[in-house]
Amino acid sequence: MSSGKILPRRQAVPVLYTRGTHYEVGFDMGRTFGSMIKNFLILSKPLNETYLPLYQSPKGRQIYNETLGSVKDSFPQYVRELEGVADGAEVEFHKLFLLHLDEILPQALKHQPRSKNQPTGCSTIIVNQKNCRLLGHTEDALTETLNHYYFVVAHIISDKPQGKYNVKEEHFMSLCYAGHLPGYTMSQNHHGLVFSINTISAELLRSGKTPRHFITRALLATSNVDDAFRVLKDAGVGAADACSINFTFLADPRQMCYNVEMAPSPERKNESHLNIKEVPLGEHNYHVNQFDRIRQDQANDLMISSSISRMQTFGAYNPPMSEQDVRHMLGDVSGGVYCVWRENHSCDEVVKTIAVGIFDLSARTISLYSDNPSETEPHCRLPLLYK
């Protein structure tokens, strides 16, 4: 029975290994984590207080339908995957799709205020040194998301090419929020792609375009750098909302890492607006939840205040050169209310750090933490998929 109760931090990282079609993999996620997904749908304030009421209005339903139609045209296989999650968990599909629409619906309807309960954080550190190549990421989310996530290792084989990029096989691992598609947090695939996402709350959002969740889901199928840029550009449609993508390919002879800021096109072009920063060997990079290079208005003041504070915290450290350095920085609790590792014990704390992942690109492992990485050892160290 789903209780809708928020539990204290659990010392657990559930992992599901699954293979099949898109629908079957989605169904396995839904069936395996059904009680967690049902519970999350009860607890999610943005869903219940903002998205669902707007969905009930004629204009809200129109925006929902045009965005779903756009995604079905580009990525019908990922819609089937999400239908599988809904069927497996025995929940309504529209609730899950609304979670993937995120703030697109309230913004398109000029609904004021936009949800007060937007997630306000996740921090990524890239270390690209000859003897130490790491991508470390904290996943911060609304307090109701604490304990409502799982790790999925999926192998999807389709009998015919799927979607606008004609993908037949996918093999990846990804941290998923309950009821969400893989690809929006920290992920890795068998082509050697390793990436993490930082949500950015752009003021300008576009309905009828591709929600960032589906663009990053498509990123999970890419096999090289050009492929990844093509997916992020999303020619013919373009991103509906904004985020930053930190990524590299293990086999890249240049050993280049990238940070890409992605936003809806300000000129209403049918493609995403991208700003690409290279992080070559010998360099490091930090990215949080704000545009560092794209000049567009941002909507979430809390997220911006938190981002400024976390970047100041990172800036006070010497450049990171080891995994220990990254663990200390991602576990930093200085900086007051907007610290990097968020674990205020008050019940009304809106955001908590729910998990940390550190990819070791040389050892080809990911270390997963559900507690502060500067004070605890990882729960597990999983080998990266790599064919």
Provide the pLDDT for residue 380. Answer: 87
Provide the pLDDT for residue 145. Answer: 52
- The Cα 3–Cα 226 span in angstroms is 46
Do the beta carbons of residue 80 and residue 23 sit within 8 Å?
A: yes
Provide the pLDDT for residue 360. Answer: 98
121-148+179-383 belongs to CATH 3.60.60.10:
yes
- The Cα 141–Cα 350 span in angstroms is 8
What does pLDDT average to in each consecutive run of 10 residues of the chain (387 residues)?
A: 54 86 98 94 92 96 96 98 98 98 88 55 93 93 65 96 97 95 96 96 92 98 98 98 97 97 95 98 96 92 87 95 96 81 57 85 94 90 90
The beta strands (E) that lie in 120-200 are given as 122-129, 132-142, 149-162, 167-177, 186-189, 193-200
Peptide bond into 53 cis (omega under 30): no
Provide the pLDDT for residue 346. Answer: 44
Q: Where are the domains of the chain?
A: 15-109, 121-148+179-383
